[in-house]
Amino acid sequence: MPIMNGLETMHNLNQAYPNIVVLALSMDDDESTIIGMLRSGAKGYLLKDIHPVTLKEALNDAVDKGFYYSDQITSTVLGSLHKGSDSVAQLRDREVEFLKLTCTEKTYKEIASEMFLSPKTIDGYREALFEKLQVKSRVGLVLYAIKNNYFKF
């Protein structure tokens, strides 16, 4: 990109349009670039050699779910997490229960019902864990849960 790189562009987009959903499309499959774009707010990262069907799926998922992560990008992110620090946050029992339920296909409303809590309380759990675990999305929570053995397939 001749004027700005992807990270600068992402930063400017977040400033001007904070609610925009951005999918990065690049030839660069370097881990630091991918992680940097995701940390900067991109809701997905695609390599330019993807099949058009995959691109369509990614666009649909970004609109419907708010994100898209291919198997390759998920693998890169997981690999990065495994290289991270070994410190594990201290979680309360209810936070662990919420974290495990987050790894299922249940909606936050269904999680609230199962935990006998209000959806607003579940929102509080989610936001507290985002901050405590330094993640920005449900995918981040799930990746953290897998990495730290709170959830196994």
Task: Say how far apart CA 18 and CA 32 lie, in whole Å.
Answer: 23
Q: List, by residue range, all CATH 1.10.10.10 domains of the chain.
A: 93-147
Q: List, by residue range, all CATH 3.40.50.2300 domains of the chain.
A: 6-83
According to CATH, the topology of domain 93-147 is Arc Repressor Mutant, subunit A (1.10.10)
Angle 21-44-2 from CA coordinates, rounded to 5°: 80
Give the per-residue pLDDT at 89. 73
As assigned by CATH, the class of the 6-83 domain is alpha beta
Give the per-residue pLDDT at 87. 55
Task: Say how far apart CA 110 and CA 117 lie, in whole Å.
Answer: 10
Torsion angle of C-alpha atoms 123, 24, 74, 60, degrees rounded to 10: 70
Average pLDDT (71-84) is: 70
- Are the C-beta atoms of residues 45 and 23 closer than 8 Å to each other? yes
* Res. 81: pLDDT tops 70: no
Task: Say how far apart CA 62 and CA 46 lie, in whole Å.
Answer: 12
User: What would the two tokens of residue 146 be?
Assistant: 């897998």
- Are the C-beta atoms of residues 34 and 73 closer than 8 Å to each other? yes
pTM: predicted TM-score of the whole model, two decimal places = 0.51
Q: DSSP letters along 77-132, please?
A: HHHHHHHS--------HHHHHHHHHHTSS--HHHHHHHTT--HHHHHHHHHHHHHH
- 43-61 confidence digits (pLDDT tens): 999 988 788 999 999 999 9
